[in-house]
Amino acid sequence: MGLHSVRADAKKRFIVKTDEKGDNHEYNKDISYSKDYRKRTIEYRQAGYSLEATHQVFKVSKSTIQKWEKQLKETGDLDKKELHRSFRKIDPEKLKMYVAQHPEAYQSEMAPSAAD
């Protein structure tokens, strides 16, 4: 589906995407869903509703619903997955320590020293 336009609806907390046919598709714009919301979504799906119907009712992408179903099958729960993020360039803690020791340093001096 190619997107024609995307707009955020702040009151509803959804992103509305309009495709080339002019059809609107709403998606939750929050970073994560509560465990209760995940559970209700999967219960609705297990009650015999199609993936498309579940997507339309709960405003959750089809791929997210499928991920939750897989997670429930594999782990037996719908807890949020813990994020494991790595630092791209500089560890924030090392940078804080460097700045505390060298408050007058320029950014160009900080990067190589804090990255070590």
Q: Does the structure show a pLDDT above 50 at 11?
A: no
> For 27-54, what is each residue's pLDDT tens digit?
655 567 889 999 999 999 999 999 999 9
Q: Are 113 and 95 in contact (CB under 8 A)?
A: no
> For 92-112, what is each residue's pLDDT tens digit?
788 888 889 888 888 777 766
> For 68-90, what is each residue's pLDDT tens digit?
999 999 999 998 877 666 767 77
Q: Does the structure show a pLDDT above 60 at 65?
A: yes
The contacts of residue 30 (CB under 8 Å, 6+ apart) are 13
